[in-house]
Structure 1
C-alpha cells in the first residue's frame, strides 16, 4: 500500500503550515493539510509538496522588523520572508532539508524549524 504526505503553507507574511504524513487516501491527505494550514492562520494556503516519505518539516526564514531593538519569539519583532520545506525517511533528515532549503532562498535570514511530522508507519 502507498501512503501519502502533503505540505501546505501560507505565502509570506502568512505563517500557516499544514502537514499530513502516512495517509492512505491521497485526497484526504490534501484536505487535512490544507485545513490544518488555514486553521493555523494561513488562509489562503497553497500546496508546496506531495510526497511518499515518512517525515516532513517546514522552516521559516525571518528578519528583524524595522524599528525593533531585538528579535524575539514575539511575532511583532520579526517578519517572515521565506518558507523552506523538506521530506525524508527520518525527522532529522527532513528538518535538515527544510533548513537547507530556507537558507538557500535568501541570505541573511534567521531560519528555524516551525513544524515537523513523521508517520507511525
Structure 2
C-alpha cells in the first residue's frame, strides 16, 4: 500500500553513501530519530503506531530501494520500501503477506553491498535465532524474527508429536496477548515451574509489544492451550483473539476456533487461524 511521502530529512553530504537520499537521511539520525520518523509516517497515513518497538534495516536491493522492517506497540509487523528516487512514495506491506522483497520475509537482510549500511543498521538476527524461528509455525515466524531483531532469545519449537498432544499433570502454561491489531503474543506450555511459565510468556509478548502492553489471556495448568487470531483481508490485520483450553491440543484448538468463528459469524471477510497451541 502506498504511503504519503516521508517528511524532508536534513542530511549532510558525508552521509550520502547508499544512493538513496531518503535512506541516507534516515541513517544520519540516531535510533530514536529513525523510530520517530517511521512512527510519524505511519500515523500521518492513519496507521496505529503509538511507539515503534522494533526497527530493523533489511538493506537495499540492486535498484537501491531501501527496506525497513518494524513493529509498533499497537500494530505490525510491517515492511516499508523506500525507492531510491528523491521524494518517491514509500510503500507498506504486512510482513509475509505477499511476494517479493517488499513483503518480506521480514527481519532478515536482503542482499546488498552498499557502503555505510553495516555501521548504522540494526544487527541481523543470529543464525541460531533464525533457525529457531524456522522451527515455529509459519504464522509465527515474522513475530519470532522481530523478537530476534530486538535481542530476545528464541527457543526452538519442539518437534511435532506423531500422536495428539495431551495434557500432563503438574505442568503449566500461559498465553499473553497485546490488544489487537497488534500481532504480539507470548506462549508457554509444559513447564514444571508455574512462575517460569508465566514469565516466559509475558517476556515473549513484551519483546514485540513493549513493556506493560500485554495481558494474560489464558492460564492453563494441567491442560493444553491454544490461541486463534481473527484476520481481516485485505489488508491483513488482527481483529480479534480467542483462546481455548482442553485435555488435548486438538480440543484446545477446536474450542478457540469455535469461539472465534461465533464472534465473527457475521463477517465474511474474517478468517480464524490458529496462531499457536501446546500442552
Please tell me the TM-score bracket, short chain as reference. 0.7 to 0.9
Whole-angstrom CA distance in 1 between matches of 2:225 and 2:209: 18
Does residue 11 (structure 1) correspond to residue 179 (structure 2)? The answer is yes
Does residue 21 (structure 1) correspond to residue 189 (structure 2)? The answer is yes
Segments of 4+ moved more than 6 angstroms = none
1:58 Cα deviation after fit: 0.7
1:53 Cα deviation after fit: 3.4
Look up the match of 1:42: 209
Distance 1:99 1:53, change over 3 A: farther
SS at match of 2:277: strand
SS at match of 2:201: helix
Whole-angstrom CA distance in 2 between matches of 1:33 and 1:2: 18
Q: Provide structure 2 residue ranges, at least 5 long, that are not aligned to the other structure.
A: 1-168
Distance 1:103 1:53, change over 3 A: farther
Normalising by structure 2, we get a TM-score of 0.36
Q: Provide structure 1 residue ranges, at least 5 long, that are not aligned to the other structure.
A: 66-76
Greater CA radius of gyration, 1 or 2? 2
1:2 Cα deviation after fit: 2.8
1:34-82 per-residue CA deviation (whole Å, 9 max, x = no partner) reads 112223x2332110111213321111001124xxxxxxxxxxx212110
Does residue 105 (structure 1) correspond to residue 266 (structure 2)? The answer is no
Normalising by structure 1, we get a TM-score of 0.77
Higher relative contact order (Cα pairs below 8 Å, separated by 6+ residues): 1
